[in-house]
């Protein structure tokens, strides 16, 4: 059993930045970020491999978001720059066994989510 705890969400103006953190109680997993906006389905944002060497991003965030991990702290980070109102959503951290997974069902453990709101 792995517990994931996200933090770092908040309210920011368009063009601003936020950094989300996700602390894991265990290690050895590929990690992913997903988001869900009101009235919309959950969507994939980014994923990072177990050692943090490989990353993959959704087209909608590529070039603006950076996913990194600190293995010593069992923590992953999502640096979000040039935020847009359409980035407003609850962001969820997830852990799984498959690197590169972009489907939520391929992740085993989920955090409680953190709200990101981008005002125009």
109: number of Cβ within 10 Å:
17
How much is the pLDDT for 2? 92
Unique residue bearing structure tokens 């600190």: 70
How much is the pLDDT for 50? 80
How much is the pLDDT for 75? 94
- Rounded distance, CA 103 to CA 60, Å? 16
Mean pLDDT by 10 residues, the chain (120 residues): 94 98 92 96 93 90 94 93 98 92 94 97
How much is the pLDDT for 82? 98
How much is the pLDDT for 44? 97
- Rounded distance, CA 31 to CA 110, Å? 10
How much is the pLDDT for 84? 98
């Amino acid at each position: 059993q792995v517990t994931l705890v996200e933090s770092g969400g908040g309210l920011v103006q368009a063009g601003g930045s936020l950094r989300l953190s996700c602390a894991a109680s265990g290690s050895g997993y590929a990690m992913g970020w997903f988001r869900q906006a009101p009235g919309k389905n959950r969507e994939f944002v980014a994923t990072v491999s177990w050692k943090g060497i490989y990353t993959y991003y959704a087209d909608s965030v590529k070039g603006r978001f950076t996913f990194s991990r600190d293995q010593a702290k069992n923590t992953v980070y999502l640096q979000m720059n040039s935020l847009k109102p359409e980035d407003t959503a609850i962001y969820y951290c997830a852990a799984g066994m498959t690197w590169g997974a972009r489907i939520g069902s391929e992740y085993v453990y989920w955090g409680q989510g953190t709200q990101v709101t981008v005002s125009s």
